[in-house]
Structure 1
Amino acid sequence: MSLRNVFRSRKFSRSFKVTTPSDPSSAGERSSGEESIHCNAWSNMLPELLGEIIRRVEVTEEQWPHRQNVVACACVCKRWRDITRQIVRSHSHKGTITFPSCLKQPGPRDLPHQCLIKRNKKTSTFYLYLALTPSFTDKGKFLLAGRRYRCGTHTEYIISLDADDLSQGSNAYVGKLSSDFLGTNFMIYDSKPPHSGAKPSSGRTSRRFTSKQISPEVPAGNFEVGQVFYKFNLLKSRGPRRMVCSLKCPISSSSSSSSGESSDSISPDGHKMYNREHHYSILKNKAPRWHENLQCWCLNFHGRVTIASVKNFQLVATVDQSQPGGKGDEEMVLLQFGKIGDDTFTMDYRQPLSAFQAFAICLSSFGTKLACE
């Protein structure tokens, strides 16, 4: 049986066999001892062999659903989980998505991740899926969910790992998007510190509500990681919305190693803690061209957008603030978002954006902005 079939088979998931003792009074003790013996047999595997097994599984399966085999490796025991995390992090420059922490790491450099956003108007809920095939009808793998709430004079989008639990008091809470009164200025908040020494944002809109569900290990505040600003269009000139995004983007492991920067530290829960400040990226919407025959503004979405909408946009880099006077590539699309159905949209992103940041930016596009259109 091949290694791939081993991880997919029931034998792998049920390899910790427990023998039921004849004496019922000692069943619990003996069962635990038997399970411990089998667990030790797996965890005591030679580190060179164990590392080679997990490394081969990781490098040969870059996309879902095959990535579930990498997750299966991490589920065997704590030792397997630690080694799996190390190997996945060492290849994080590929932008692969395996664990929840990968949703806050930079996307791929070459080919963008193609995603779908499903909208439920009745519940004001949005669901992000990683597309597994080029087909628009394929639902894909669930990544994140966001729900819109009206909070006094402003609006908030709570982003969660759980499609059914979208509250700031949940352990699945990963961050939020908060708007101003006009819905033209948005702040992106991360639930966890983006780097060592980061301080939570002050202010009523950035604090997490108290809840008994929150684990003591979960920070009590929100950490600002970006801003989305829609420019006013008071003269009602023709054209799509104009937007500017200022983001704190994590530096990919590939660029860090090549530049000789210090390695990143890892928190006890596996969250990546960056030892230095994030790289600041400023993005703006790519200017469309006017099509004389169609009498409309056009952008080339390469077949990924099929319905014209004021919500559609493409973002490109403008200025690299890590280098004085540095210019961004205004032809390379880092994030594009567009409509393909009444309640279905595409979202394609790449470095330096993470899935969490890209999703938050796209959420800001929903809703009417009278002063910007």
Structure 2
Amino acid sequence: MASRRRAIQSRRWSSVSSASSESSDELFVEARSSPLREGEEGEEEEAAPPAEGRWARMLPELLGEIVKRVEAGGEKWPLRKDVVSCACVCRRWREITRGIVRSPLESGRITFPASLKQPGPRDSPIQCFIKRNKKNSTFYLYLGLTQTFMDKGKFLLAARRFRNGAHTEYIISLDADDLSQGSKAYMGKLRSDFLGTKFTIYDSRPPYDGAKAASSRASRRFASKQISPQVSSSNFEVGQVSYKFNLLKSRGPRRMHCTLQCPSTQEIAEDDSMKSKGQNPGGSVVLRNKAPRWHEHLQCWCLNFHGRVTVASVKNFQLVAITDPSQPWGIGDGDTVLLQFGKVGDDVFTMDYRQPLSAFQAFAICLTSFGTKFACE
């Protein structure tokens, strides 16, 4: 029996050494994971499902090392697409890749679509820009790859403005060509009141297990006959943005007030465990626009955008957290800019955000700035 087992092992090693068209590491993995033939004795190795292919049978340690090197070598797009390609090989590769690639909060990089709804870094903002198409009322969010405003960027999100009765809605999608509420790429929406001074942000996914979907007819995504089992059929309110009325028409910029559901730094790590218990892992953060100063020489209101905004516009703004020592984020100093938005061209605007905001939330807030607001200006 022992001699038969050694003979079987010898045949395996000989097949590894004789092959020349493939690498030895790959063949070694394939030889170890292949089961014994029927009638042969010995301890069988568990074979991977046939649908996964031989790439899924790679040793976890070797696979993890490969993904780590690919991730380390792709600091920015387009090199970063190699990390996404690794996650697309099969389910096993996807799980290992997701375990290695860090969130924007830790790495300052956006990799997967899930990153768009995760908080940005704390120390330095993620720099993006928005392109507007006035002809079809569409807005495109790109990740900035360089410091120049001529950068083509990496596409992240798209939004289109619709008129829904007396209200205006912005549908936000991962697909620039499919901006419908019934799409699988649907991420959420923004809805305004009649005057365009109060907005509600809706997420397509519940922010936590047990969250209640908005019950009004206007907040429903689409008719029941259009619902797909793979797509959430509800909208969940995650924030509000309001502009203060300027009844006296006094000189000055728009005044904004935002209330958002955002997880704290500690709660992000505990998110999964709290979701399993049906608890709300997040809290709320209150933001307001940073007050500008009046420049006597230029005779205008000024804010320091540190070179990221080059064109004066009533749409430009900077948001800071209202000072509150009880906030778990530790950012309510009233001075740290969490989101800034400003014009750099006829239809190009920069958008820089950081913790606790996500790219989705920041994009939704910036969309509220478009459009004329007679009651506020």
Q: Give TM class, smaller chain.
A: 0.7 to 0.9
Counterpart residue number, 1:77: 90
State the AA in 2 paired with 1:183: G
Contact in 2 for aligned 1:195/1:273 (Cα 8 Å): no
- How far apart are 1:323 and its partner, in Å? 3.6
Residue identity in the other structure for 1:355: A
Aligned position for 1:334: 338
Identity value in percent: 70
Q: Separation in 2 of the partners of 1:341 and 1:175?
A: 27
Where structure 1 has 5 or more consecutive residues not aligned to the other structure, the ranges are 1-10, 16-35
Q: Output the CA distance in 1 between the equivalents of 2:130 and 2:245.
A: 26
Q: Does 1:244 align with 2:244?
A: no
In the aligned structure 1, how far is the partner of 2:368 from the partner of 2:355? Answer: 20
**Equivalence map 1:299-338=2 (5 Å):** 299-320=303-324, 323=327, 328-338=332-342
Say whether residues 1:283 and 2:294 are aligned partners: no
Q: Distance in 1 between matches of 2:368 and 2:311?
A: 19
Distance in 1 of aligned mates of 2:180 and 2:325? 35
Q: Over aligned residues, Cα RMSD in angstroms?
A: 2.7
Looking at structure 1, the residues matched to 325 and 173 of structure 2 have their Cα atoms a distance apart, in angstroms, of 30
Residue by residue over 1:314-359, the C-alpha shift from the partner in whole angstroms, topping out at 9 and shown as x without a partner, is 00111448549x8712221110000111111111111110000000
What is the match of residue 187 of structure 2? 174
> What is the Cα deviation at residue 38 of structure 1?
9.4
Which residue pairs with 2:206 in the alignment? 193
Residue number in structure 1 paired with 2:119: 106
Q: Distance in 2 between matches of 1:217 and 1:360?
A: 24
1:262/1:343 CA distance change after superposition, 3 Å: closer
Is the contact made by 2:104 and 2:120 (CA closer than 8 Å) also made in structure 1? no
User: Mapping of 1:1-373 within 5 angstroms?
Assistant: 39-89=52-102, 92-210=105-223, 214-252=227-265, 255-256=266-267, 262-264=270-272, 275-320=279-324, 323=327, 328-373=332-377
Q: Distance in 2 between matches of 1:70 and 1:311?
A: 36
- Aligned-partner residue type, residue 285 of structure 2: S
The answer on whether the counterparts of 1:105 and 1:250 sit within 8 Å (CA) in structure 2 is: no
> Is the alpha carbon distance of 1:139 and 1:320 closer, same or farther for their aligned partners in structure 2, counting shifts above 3 Å?
farther
C-alpha contact 1:94 1:109 (8 A) present in aligned 2: no
What amino acid sits opposite 2:349 in the alignment? Answer: F
* Counterpart Cα distance in 1 of 2:235 and 2:325: 24
The 8 Å contact of residues 171 and 218 in structure 1, kept in 2 or not, is answered as yes
Distance 2:67 2:322 in 1: 40
Q: CA deviation at 1:210?
A: 2.0
Query: What TM-score comes out, normalization by structure 2 length?
Result: 0.81
Query: Relative contact order, CA 8 A, sep 6+: which one is greater?
Result: 1
Contact 1:226 1:247 in 2 (8 A): yes
For residue 224 of structure 1, report the CA deviation from its aligned partner. Answer: 0.4
Which of these two proteins has the greater Rg computed from alpha carbons? 2
Distance 1:38 1:104, change over 3 A: closer
Distance 2:180 2:92 in 1: 33
Write the deviation string for residues 191-243 of structure 1: whole angstroms up to 9, x where unpaired: 01111111111112211112766431322110000000100110111110000
Q: Paired residues, what number?
A: 332
2-structure distance, mates of 1:287, 1:98? 34
Partner SS for 1:199: coil
Question: In structure 1, how many angstroms separate the alpha carbons of the residues matched to 2:122 and 2:238?
Answer: 21
Any conservation in 2 of the 1:116–1:139 contact (CA below 8 Å)?
no
State the alpha-carbon separation in 1 of the partners of residues 97 and 296 from structure 2.
55
For residues 102 and 315 of structure 1, the distance between their equivalents in structure 2, rounded to whole angstroms, comes to 22
Q: Distance in 2 between matches of 1:161 and 1:355?
A: 12
Partner secondary structure for residue 372 of structure 1: coil
What is the TM-score of this pair, normalised by structure 1?
0.82
Of residues 107-116 and 223-232 in structure 1, the stretch that sits farther from structure 2 once superposed is 107-116
Deviation, 1:53, is 2.1
**What is the alpha-carbon distance in structure 1 between the residues aligned to residue 271 and residue 368 of structure 2?**
33
Shift of 1:157: 0.4
Contact kept, 8 Å, 2:267 with 2:281, in 1: the verdict is: no
Partner letter of residue 82 of structure 2? N
